[in-house]
Chains A and B, each alone.
Chain A
Amino acid sequence: NAGVMQNPRHLVRRRGQEARLRCSPMKGHSHVYWYRQLPEEGLKFMVYLQKENIIDESGMPKERFSAEFPKEGPSILRIQQVVRGDSAAYFCASSSLAGDSGANVLTFGAGSRLTVL
């Protein structure tokens, strides 16, 4: 019973390039969340998606960042024209219950560490 799978685990990009981070939720989970963790800081909510729907993207920077969770395949977090400040660990979490359920428990993936040179 695989957990939340993220890849790549480590990604190095030069400024101006694109980064694509992938997240496959746990089996049976249809709710996906992306969080970002900057060095020495806590995780910050970015976006909440269900299959083919973005429910809440209030934590996403307005430019260069986008997320999707297609009907088939993993959720993708895409960062265009990366800058040094995008260097961080990006964690994906999934749940089986709707996001506003009080009993909702998130399971986190191992994260993708992006380094921008």
Chain B
Amino acid sequence: DAKTTQPPSMDCAEGRAANLPCNHSTISGNEYVYWYRQIHSQGPQYIIHGLKNNETNEMASLIITEDRKSSTLILPHATLRDTAVYYCIVSFRGETSGSRLTFGEGTQLTVNP
């Protein structure tokens, strides 16, 4: 699976959009980009995933560059409850037994009042 690079920490004002970047320059054609978050002392929570098109759900939007070497997770109106570590993971979709989710260090997002 491709390796990802994320900033260790970011701050965001409550009510503003939080834009979390992720670099994955070695991503292969069949690998997806997954985003999870982990609120302190809880289990990780799946947020969104995508292959090459931009994706949106009730939690967030995922913007993937045309060359697929980087992506941005957007929380449109961050709240204090969005304070968490955000993990960007690149992996095959999972049909094969060799697929894995590899959690790195992630980005600690702190939403300030």
Indicate whether A and B interact. Answer: no
Mark A residues whose CB is within 8 Å of B: none
Mark B residues whose CB is within 8 Å of A: none
